[in-house]
Structure 1
Amino acid sequence: MSQPVQRVATQKLSERLIKNETLRYVFTTHFWGPVSNFGIPIAALSDLKKDPELISGSMTSALILYSAVFLRYSLAVTPKNYLLFGCHVVNFSAQATQGYRWLNYHYLGGNNVKN
């Protein structure tokens, strides 16, 4: 089978199998990109209970900037990617909390507090 014929056959098959708009969305990078990206905020949220001495200030700062940029990007693309926006809202919030914990521990006397 030649390349164009194979492509047309694959496209027709996928059109038959994926008629639902929601199902069609699940098979795009607009869905899987943010879903795979949710690992970063999930890791940050799980680290909120860990010792603040272990937090990397430079990495946390980089992740805050990264999420701030992609917050804007997710709404600038067409169509707007609200799933990516949500992912970066959660990540920005979690990283900002981690950043505060790092700042408190290293510069605001948080390391002197006994539990």
Structure 2
Amino acid sequence: MSNVGTSQAAQKVTSQLFNKSNLKYLFTTHFWGPASNFGIPIAAVMDLKNKTPDTISGPMTTALILYSAVFMRYSLAIKPVNYLLFGCHVVNEVAQLGQGYRYLKYHYIDGNDKQLRA
């Protein structure tokens, strides 16, 4: 492809990405709310590998599972539907369910809850 063809393709992609509608969306809470909220699921996913099961808080994990379930529903109920918020909470729901499984396995299935039984 020649430089002229590459330049025209780049201009076309740029104009589609940076159009008035997309820039308007970029400066709304519909974008920045979920974008800033992604810290929770990112931390939860990283904790799946890095955090030992004995340090997982059962009550907090349960609260985050319920929180994400509620906000998944909320993100689909509002108008306009916020798919970015929905995606954020889907990722968090899956990660928190993984943490919940690790918590239950460690404390109740593997029998590491000797302090709880005594």
> TM-score normalized by structure 1?
0.79
Provide, for residues 34-82 of structure 1, a one-character-per-residue CA deviation record: whole Å limited to 9, x for no partner: 0010000000011011211110000000000000000000000000000
Shift of 1:20: 1.1
Q: Which runs of 5+ in 1 are unaligned?
A: 1-17
Shift of 1:102: 0.2
For residues 30-109 of structure 1, the aligned pairs below 5 Å read 30-49=30-49, 50-109=51-110
Measured in 1, the distance between the counterparts of 2:28 and 2:110 equals 47
3-state SS of paired residue (1:103): helix
* Distance verdict in 2 for CA 1:79–1:103, change over 3 Å: same
Shift of 1:110: 6.5
Q: State the aligned residue count.
A: 95
Amino acid of the residue matched to residue 57 of structure 2?
S
Q: Which runs of 5+ in 2 are unaligned?
A: 1-17, 113-118
* Distance verdict in 2 for CA 1:79–1:45, change over 3 Å: same
Measured in 2, the distance between the counterparts of 1:24 and 1:52 equals 43
Moved over 3 A (4+): none
Measured in 2, the distance between the counterparts of 1:26 and 1:48 equals 31
Measured in 2, the distance between the counterparts of 1:105 and 1:20 equals 52
- Percent identity, aligned pairs only, is 71
